[in-house]
Structure 1
Amino acid sequence: MLTFLNGAMIITTQRYLSFYLGAGDTTVLNKIFNTSVFIHFIISVFIVVVLELLSLFLFDGFLNIPSSKNVDASWCFHLMVASTFFTINAVPYDSLINAKEDMLFDSINGLVETFLKFLAACSISYFSNNRLIVYSLLIVGITILVRISKSVWCKIKYKESGVSVVFLKERFLFKEMLSYASWNLFGSLCYVASSQGIAVVLNRFLGVGINGTYAIAQQMNSQLQSFSVIIGKALNPQIVKSEGAKDRNRMIKLALLSSKSSAILLLFIIIPLIAEINGILNIWLKTVPPQTAAFCTIILINALVNQMSTGLKASVQATGQVKLYQSVVGTTIMLIVPLAYILLSMGYSAFHILICMTMIELFSLVLRVIICNKKVGISYGLFLNEVFFRVVLVAIPPIVSIYLFTQNILFTDYRILYTAFINGIVLIVSIMVFGLKKEERDFMMSMLKGNRLKKIKVSI
């Protein structure tokens, strides 16, 4: 939840920083940064108060938690609330790093964070009691440490990160950014409330066991989203800068490329995961909860559908007209919670809830395309031809190849590696044939060679 919320809120400050960088007006950058610091401090205090008030309700018998684990769960919750405060207040610094396209530092920082979390997971084996609380403390400590490192880096490298009271004189900028941030926050909270709300509803009707199954599927989805966000970090600043430079055509081309690239990138992971999901779960988990394979499969498909619209969202963000997008799409995503409650009350299974989630995800994709057509000017035919049909065409050859391979070769642990290898080779060929136009192939090859996007001279 924190990861998604943080990533979504970064968009606000990054949008304004990238927009004015694209427009060539660097004098306003420090004002934007300072205004962002103040806004996110207000948001962090508001969210902490709401979460702490919510805890009085959640741990007073509402959640179906074994009594022996209620104290541990409460401690974990309060620790994550503390982490939330620091995470939100670091958003302006994350945004500045992204707007400056400082990918080297961001990558190194991400690797260090992952390694420290791995050590935290390993270290709990040395504790005999309160392992959940110890793990939560370590994770919160790592989160705070990583956020501080980003703040210090920005202070050293970017003069725009100096904090002062200049925002008090920029009432118009404060009002505009607060409105923009509020609607982004609304949309982000809708996504968070949707995923966490489903967990609560499943818990109420089906108990803790189904939460384990759902959590495994969501963890897999979370890692996939982190993997695909690489494309977003590379392209989103350029999308906004193009809009700031009043180059709408280039902005639209980059937005469509972002959607297509994000979805295609996920195919490298999703296809072998779905094909070998039972074997992977048996290797990963000591005991596999019932229905986990079905949960994971549907969640992975939903992730692919969602990735087809990442560039669409970035294009709307670039224009600054986010009210319609966030209110309509956010509310639609939230519908899954009351629908899940109704369906479970009528005796339907958790699997039916997942099917309902897929239908809502597809409907949300349609809504995003309609809104982008209205606000940005992306035609329906352009999206279908440049994103949807190309992703489908790219996916067909590796899916057929993997299906034939797994049907004729008995399962072993090594088959998973062969499946991933075959998928990768066939998918690369399929991308080159069906997925990318010539100028896009040149663009992606330049990215892989490590050149900065703004130095790439291709016809995009």
Structure 2
Amino acid sequence: MAKNTLLLYGRMFITMLISLYTSRVVLKALGVEDYGIYNVVGGVVSMFSMLSSSMIVSTQRFISYELGRSEENKLNKIFCTSINIHALISVIIVLLLETIGLWFLYYKLVIPTERISCAFWVFQISILTTIISFTSFPYNAIIIAHERMSIFALMSILETVLKLGIAISLSNINNYDILLVYSIMIASVQLLMRFLYSQYCNKNFKEASYHLIFDKALFKDMLGFAGWNMFASSATVLSNQGTNILLNMFFGPVVNAARGIAVQVQNTLTQFSSSFQTALNPQIVKLYAANEEDKMKTLVLKSCKFTYILLFIISLPLLVETKTILQVWLGDIPDYTIIFVRIMIVTIIVEMTARPLTMAVEATKKIRNYKIITSGVMLMVLPISYVTLKTGMDAHIVLLIQLFLSVISYFFRLHITQRLILISLSLFMKKVCIPCLLITIPSFSISFGIHLYLPSSFYHVFIVIIIAIFVSITSSFLWGLDANERCFIFNKLKKI
């Protein structure tokens, strides 16, 4: 797990740096208005595409479970069944996008008249890109379930580098619509990655060979599991992209550009914590399948705590020096970007530290009530946001509502997890909440205090960032880790 985590963090750091620079290049090449159009049009597609992305979770869970039980006979059936379900969902998604999606595009989104034709073709290309991505999900799931994180990391780095190459090449496009060309090239990258994933899996995993098969019981089991995950994914997408559409309706595409930048930061932090969790998730399921529930509980608690620690260390400098970092990254900062970024950083910390609880529940396969309750809470962001915006509130209130509902959802997650895998609330407070508070309070107080105390200068931001990282790491080591974890780190440092 440690080896896989390091591989995924190496992947994350490389892709994060490239992605951040790519965003700057794309924003400059497209301009604020076209960047906002691409963000909001792509958001409409994402509202539907995330319905299918939950299948990767389903496929990975079923494969990991059979690997934990050492049952290899069902692996090919699981893979073929996942392909069949993806094909079915793809047809449904295309129908929805070409009807409801187009209606949204023409009648609800605020897009300049002269750009509506381009937005239509960007929308169609985004649908194609999404379908290509769908067909890669079963292969991704097999690689993760088998814990081949080196291949997963290399593929991700290659995809990010190709997207950077596309961004740089935009400056050389003169006779064509840059936004349209950018969409076509992104679709081409997805097609190439789909080919590479399938070739690797076909050569290395015997269960990755597709043939037409229909196991009614397995199909129903996987579709039911995926169905509840799709319900949860749709709630997440509606709360995220629905707010994006609301902001477009009330404030126009410039605010969408600000939110798009904030989402880029949010996605980068998500990748950071997902790198750690991706390495642990198969182990959580395998331990449950092997009836080693005590080890699974320990792993879940440690995963929650370490996810928070790792996210907090990288997020603290961003929270304290948001304005300066955005100026260095983007140059010109669209309105609302600073407040959007700060709120979304806190939101993603809350949501990602709850992910290990979700994986523990999914290992049991008893996910119906969990998904209904947590998704219902998150869907409340749309009616509440609409009412508040109607009363004349500012744009950032939408993101504050989303943060508040994420906290409420966290309490429900704890309660349900407590009943299913018997992790007591007192144990969670002792092992996760109290250490995280002991890290946060002194680290934030010292970092923000120094930020206010030091006079503005060229070196100000570097000093504050270094101090923020140092105090957060020190606090994590002193108060976030227990004696065994500190001893483990000391021993590893001695070997190094």
In the superposition, the TM-score normalised over structure 1's length comes to 0.92
Task: Determine if the alignment matches structure 1 residue 207 to structure 2 residue 264.
Answer: no
In the alignment, which of 120, 130, 148 is matched to residue 84 of structure 1?
Answer: 130
Q: Which residue of 2 aligns with 1:458?
A: none
Letter in 1 for 2:225: Y
Task: Determine if the alignment matches structure 1 residue 134 to structure 2 residue 173.
Answer: no
Following TM superposition, by how much is the alpha carbon of 1:289 offset from its aligned partner in structure 2, in angstroms?
Answer: 2.1
Residues 15 and 318 in structure 1, CA contact (< 8 A), matched pair in contact too? yes
Deviates more, 1:426-435 or 1:77-86: 426-435
> Which residues in structure 2 correspond to 1:251-330 (within 5 Å)?
251-330=296-375
Please, what is the CA RMSD of the aligned residues?
2.2
1:61-118 superposed Cα distances (whole Å, 9 cap, x missing partner): 3111111221222222211111111111211110000000001111111111111111
Task: Determine if the alignment matches structure 1 residue 431 to structure 2 residue 476.
Answer: yes
* Paired residue secondary structure (1:350): coil
Deviates more, 1:46-55 or 1:236-245: 46-55
* Paired residue secondary structure (2:184): helix
* Paired residue secondary structure (1:64): coil
Residues 159 and 193 in structure 2, CA contact (< 8 A), matched pair in contact too? yes
Q: Which residue of 2 aligns with 1:217?
A: 262
Q: Matched residues in 2 for 1:37 and 1:333: separation?
A: 30
Change (3 A) 1:41 1:131: same
In the alignment, which of 151, 154, 158 is matched to residue 205 of structure 2?
Answer: 158
* Paired residue secondary structure (2:332): coil
Gaps of 5+ in 2: 1-42
Q: Matched residues in 2 for 1:319 and 1:448: separation?
A: 37
In the alignment, which of 381, 389, 404 is matched to residue 336 of structure 1?
Answer: 381
Gaps of 5+ in 1: 450-460
1:224-254 superposed Cα distances (whole Å, 9 cap, x missing partner): 1011111111100000000110111111111
Q: Which residue of 2 aligns with 1:96?
A: 142
Q: Which residue of 1 aligns with 2:393?
A: 348
Residues 316 and 469 in structure 2, CA contact (< 8 A), matched pair in contact too? no
* Paired residue secondary structure (1:193): helix
Q: Which residue of 1 aligns with 2:19?
A: none
Q: Which residue of 1 aligns with 2:429?
A: 384
Residues 155 and 193 in structure 2, CA contact (< 8 A), matched pair in contact too? yes
Letter in 1 for 2:86: H
Q: Which residue of 2 aligns with 1:395?
A: 440
Change (3 A) 1:123 1:216: same
Q: Which residue of 2 aligns with 1:149?
A: 196
> Which residues in structure 2 correspond to 1:116-135 (within 5 Å)?
116-128=162-174, 129-135=176-182
Following TM superposition, by how much is the alpha carbon of 1:259 offset from its aligned partner in structure 2, in angstroms?
Answer: 1.6
Q: Which residue of 1 aligns with 2:86?
A: 40
1:156-182 superposed Cα distances (whole Å, 9 cap, x missing partner): 1111111122x31x2111110110011
Residues 50 and 230 in structure 2, CA contact (< 8 A), matched pair in contact too? no
Following TM superposition, by how much is the alpha carbon of 1:448 offset from its aligned partner in structure 2, in angstroms?
Answer: 10
1:174-214 superposed Cα distances (whole Å, 9 cap, x missing partner): 11011001111111111111111001111111222221222
Change (3 A) 1:109 1:442: farther
Following TM superposition, by how much is the alpha carbon of 1:376 offset from its aligned partner in structure 2, in angstroms?
Answer: 2.1
Letter in 1 for 2:322: I
Q: Matched residues in 2 for 1:445 and 1:33: separation?
A: 42
Following TM superposition, by how much is the alpha carbon of 1:439 offset from its aligned partner in structure 2, in angstroms?
Answer: 4.0
Letter in 1 for 2:441: I
Q: Matched residues in 2 for 1:447 and 1:13: separation?
A: 35
Q: Which residue of 2 aligns with 1:452?
A: none
Letter in 2 for 1:144: L
Q: Matched residues in 1 for 2:269 and 2:401: separation?
A: 21
Q: Matched residues in 1 for 2:113 and 2:97: separation?
A: 21
Letter in 2 for 1:207: G
Q: Matched residues in 2 for 1:108 and 1:308: separation?
A: 26
Q: Which residue of 2 aligns with 1:236?
A: 281
Residues 402 and 422 in structure 1, CA contact (< 8 A), matched pair in contact too? yes
Following TM superposition, by how much is the alpha carbon of 1:440 offset from its aligned partner in structure 2, in angstroms?
Answer: 4.1
Change (3 A) 1:155 1:27: same
Task: Determine if the alignment matches structure 1 residue 421 to structure 2 residue 477.
Answer: no
Residues 69 and 289 in structure 2, CA contact (< 8 A), matched pair in contact too? yes
Change (3 A) 1:183 1:444: farther
In the superposition, the TM-score normalised over structure 2's length comes to 0.86
Q: Matched residues in 1 for 2:369 and 2:110: separation?
A: 37
1:369-404 superposed Cα distances (whole Å, 9 cap, x missing partner): 111112222211122222222222122232123123
Letter in 1 for 2:228: W
Following TM superposition, by how much is the alpha carbon of 1:431 offset from its aligned partner in structure 2, in angstroms?
Answer: 1.7
Q: Number of matched residues? A: 448
Following TM superposition, by how much is the alpha carbon of 1:361 offset from its aligned partner in structure 2, in angstroms?
Answer: 0.9
* Paired residue secondary structure (1:348): coil
Following TM superposition, by how much is the alpha carbon of 1:131 offset from its aligned partner in structure 2, in angstroms?
Answer: 0.8
Following TM superposition, by how much is the alpha carbon of 1:56 offset from its aligned partner in structure 2, in angstroms?
Answer: 2.5
Task: Determine if the alignment matches structure 1 residue 186 to structure 2 residue 215.
Answer: no
Residues 288 and 364 in structure 2, CA contact (< 8 A), matched pair in contact too? yes
Residues 279 and 413 in structure 1, CA contact (< 8 A), matched pair in contact too? no
Q: Matched residues in 2 for 1:446 and 1:258: separation?
A: 21
Change (3 A) 1:386 1:123: same
Residues 52 and 90 in structure 2, CA contact (< 8 A), matched pair in contact too? no
Q: Matched residues in 1 for 2:455 and 2:409: separation?
A: 39
Q: Which residue of 1 aligns with 2:7?
A: none
